[in-house]
């Protein structure tokens, strides 16, 4: 299983840029007890992408070699530990020891208020017909903050599509590790970090390009399905996560009498067809298709009558609801 994209960096380039990050850091402060082998390198009681970043830097000699970064528990800190912590973030493996429980429970991080720094969905926010590829972009605007490590989750309706892959977007500082994985149906987690040159403040563009496949067999044209972002951590923790909806751009070729598109058959469906026949209501193409209960490619009073009879259990439309 591919779990990360590794980017090879020249050690001299890393040293020249990352050492500056340690200029104001005191010499090897003592670690907090209890974090050995847990992967929680910054000892914050929470595993985030920064723990991977700091462990990788410790393997290069650019950060303190705290035992917390020894996720593998083999007595040394190396790039393999950083990789294991990254996998632990993706729920693929666990570190050698658990993160200790804080004496005082952590306060949940509130959802940031609307502001200039944000994460949102851009590009094609339409769900196509079953089997269609859906390509969407996770965009970011960071007028105030440099970004060299991030984590986020994208939540969507798993009845409409499933995740198939990703590519880094145009905001690519030269990631050392970056990956996206579907932790649960409808829940994709993305993590990435670099060392040295971050995404500079004042940037705006695509952080990730995500690919899905539509499985929306029961969707109707122009139906809306919600999505949301969650678990924004590390450098984007204070960013505002914009939620929204994706719409269906596929006419479902069914003749089931569900004229009002509420996924159930009722007298209201028959009434809507009858009002259309009288010229009192306009129907869109999807409503016309579903309202054509007898499959004669016309909408008439006969369809209204047949839908009513189907509600009463005395007849049936051409397709089941």
Average pLDDT, the chain: 90
Q: What does the domain layout of the chain look like in residue ranges?
A: 11-89, 118-248, 253-321
Q: Evaluate if residue 298 carries a pLDDT over 70.
A: yes
Using 50, 70 and 90 to split pLDDT, how confident is the model at 27? low
Lowest mean pLDDT among 31-35, 43-47, 132-136, 223-227: 31-35
Tokens of 287: 């409503």
* Residue 193 phi, psi dihedral angles, 5° rounding: -150, 155
Q: Evaluate if residue 152 carries a pLDDT over 80.
A: yes
pLDDT of residue 106: 83
- HEC string for the chain: CCCCCCCCCCHHHHHHHHHHHHCCCCCCCCCCCCCCCCCCCCCCCCCCHHHHHHHHHHHCCCCCCCHHHCCCCCCCCCHHHHHHHHHHHCCCCCCCCCCCCCCCCCCCCCCCCCCCCEEEEEECCEECCCCCEEEEEEEEEECCCCECEEEEEEECCCCCEEEEEEEECCCCCCCCEEEEEEEECCEEEEEEECCCCCECCCEEEEEEEEEEEECCCCCCCCCEEEEEEEEEEECCCCCEECCEEEEECCCCCCCCCCCCCCCCCCHHHHHHHHHHHCCCCCCCHHHHHHHCCCCCCCCCHHHHHHHHHHHCCCCCCCCCC
pLDDT of residue 109: 78
Q: What is the pLDDT of residues 248-266, one digit of tens each?
A: 999 988 999 999 999 999 9
CATH: 1.10.1330.10, 3.40.50.410, 3.40.630.10, 3.40.50.970. Which one for 253-321?
1.10.1330.10
**pTM score, two decimals?**
0.83
Tokens of 259: 């004229």
**Are the CB atoms for 256 and 285 separated by under 8 Å?**
no
- Please provide the CATH number assigned to the domain covering 118-248: 2.60.40.680
* Residue 40 phi, psi dihedral angles, 5° rounding: -85, 75
Q: Evaluate if residue 200 carries a pLDDT over 70.
A: yes
pLDDT of residue 291: 95
* Residue 21 phi, psi dihedral angles, 5° rounding: -70, -20
Block residue for tokens 């995500």: 210
């Amino acid at each position: 299983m591919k779990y990360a994209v590794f980017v090879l960096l020249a050690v001299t380039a890393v040293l020249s840029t990352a050492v500056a990050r340690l200029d104001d850091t005191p010499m090897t402060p003592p670690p907090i007890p209890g974090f050995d082998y847990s992967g929680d390198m910054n000892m914050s009681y929470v595993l985030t992408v920064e723990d991977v970043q700091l462990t990788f830097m410790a393997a290069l000699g650019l950060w303190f070699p705290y035992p917390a970064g020894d996720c593998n528990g083999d007595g040394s800190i190396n790039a393999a530990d950083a990789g294991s912590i990254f996998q632990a973030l993706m729920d693929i493996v666990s570190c050698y020891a658990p993160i200790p429980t804080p004496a005082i429970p952590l306060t949940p991080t509130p959802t940031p208020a609307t502001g200039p720094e944000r994460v949102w969905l851009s590009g094609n926010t339409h769900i196509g017909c079953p089997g269609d590829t859906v390509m969407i972009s996770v965009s970011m605007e960071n007028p105030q903050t440099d970004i060299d490590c991030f984590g986020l989750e994208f939540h969507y309706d798993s009845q409409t599509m499933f995740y198939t892959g990703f590519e880094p977007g145009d905001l690519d500082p030269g990631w050392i590790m970056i990956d996206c994985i579907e932790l649960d149906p409808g829940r994709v987690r993305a993590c990435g970090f670099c060392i040295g040159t971050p995404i500079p403040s004042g940037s705006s563009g695509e952080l990730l390009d995500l690919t899905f496949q539509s499985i929306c067999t029961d969707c109707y044209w122009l139906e809306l399905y919600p999505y949301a972002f969650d678990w924004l951590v590390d450098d984007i923790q204070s960013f505002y996560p914009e939620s929204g909806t994706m719409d269906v751009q596929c006419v479902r070729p069914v003749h089931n009498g569900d004229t009002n598109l509420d996924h159930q058959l009722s007298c209201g469906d028959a009434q809507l067809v009858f009002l259309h026949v009288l010229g009192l209501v306009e129907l869109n193409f999807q409503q016309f298709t579903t309202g054509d209960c007898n499959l004669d490619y016309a909408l008439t009073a006969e369809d209204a009558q047949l839908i009513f009879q189907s509600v009463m259990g005395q007849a049936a439309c051409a397709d089941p609801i």
